[in-house]
Amino acid sequence: MKKLNLYVLVLVSLFFSCQSDEGEYEKVNPTLKLEFTYNEVLYSSAYHYSSDSIPIFNDEKVRVVYYKLMENEQLATVVNEDGKVTYYDDFESVEKCLPQPLTTKSTSGASLSLYLYEDEDYKGSVYSYNGIFQIDVPDLGNPNKIGIPLNLNDMITSIVANFSCVKSQWVSLPSGASLTIFEHIDYNTKKSGKSLTLKSGFTSNTPTGVSGQIKISTLQPYVLKSGGLFSHSVRWNDQMSSAKFTFYKDI
């Protein structure tokens, strides 16, 4: 199975920090560029770091819009199949763009497996789950709720998500799968908390079936909350409390 390693998306240099002591993630490429879509408008600007490790934007409008988005406590970030990033005001807006296909002939035609690891590089305690069309993890801090004797709330660092479909069991195949992690339990249903959605198409296509994989060796590159001049940014590493993994079909 060809693996889609979303860790390389940090090369887009979107998820940057204002602090110089947060590792190599903030200066991956000497030609830095911030690019994202919001409300169907593409924003793009080159930027560089000052001697104080403060990002200096070529386009002031892009800087203002980006930091304004980061202030939204319900901000939903979607990393698309091509690595490009789209921001939404909340996860409900994302769900409208990811309708679940309901054109299967039988439940034997789909398979999902999700592995959430405590440490980077898929090490430490692991929460594993198998499903057919969707996997729901409502509360990583409640072992009874997820059916395992582990408390992994705010402890997940790396993820592997596998998905596959048997062609003969679908009237119309889905476009791929999406994995969404949430800042709070129960998928941020209390109208607070951010989310990060990673989309992947099928990366293996045989005469009988299609399959794909979302693989993240560390959540450290992904910024949950952007830092200011005197504060560190908060990364998604050790920040997720619930998750959804499902097939989707493009409209």
**CATH code: domain of residue 152:** 2.60.20.10
Residue-averaged pLDDT of the chain:
83
Q: Is the pLDDT of residue 13 over 80?
A: no
Residue 68's φ and ψ, nearest 5 degrees, are -65, -40
Is residue 206 one of the residues assigned to a domain?
yes
Only one residue has tokens 């296909």, namely 101
Is residue 167 one of the residues assigned to a domain?
yes
- Burial of 197 by CB count in 10 Å (0-12 exposed, 13-18 middle, 19+ buried)? buried
Q: Is the pLDDT of residue 186 over 50?
A: yes
pLDDT of residue 106: 74
Highest mean pLDDT (candidates 3-12, 126-135, 138-147): 126-135
Is residue 128 one of the residues assigned to a domain?
yes
Percent of the chain with pLDDT over 70: 80
Is residue 54 one of the residues assigned to a domain?
no
Is residue 121 one of the residues assigned to a domain?
yes
Least confident stretch, 10-19, 82-91, 105-114, 181-190: 10-19
Give the span between the Cα atoms of 178 and 163, in whole angstroms. 10
Cβ–Cβ < 8 Å for 129, 135: yes
Could you tell me the CA-to-CA distances from 181 to 20, 21, 69, 234 in Å, in that order?
27, 26, 18, 15
Amino acid at 29: N
Which residue segment(s) compose the domain that 108 sits in? 75-248
Is residue 192 one of the residues assigned to a domain?
yes
> Could you tell me which residues come within 8 angstroms of residue 130 by beta carbon, excluding any fewer than 6 positions away?
111, 112, 113, 114
Is residue 40 one of the residues assigned to a domain?
no
pLDDT tens-digit profile of 188-208?
987 789 999 999 999 999 999
Is residue 134 one of the residues assigned to a domain?
yes
Q: List the beta bridge partners of residue 128.
A: 115
- Residue, of 166 and 12, whose pLDDT is higher: 166
Percent of the chain with pLDDT over 90: 53
- Total structural domains in the chain? 1
Categorize the per-residue pLDDT at 30 as very low, low, confident or very high, splitting at 50, 70 and 90.
Answer: low
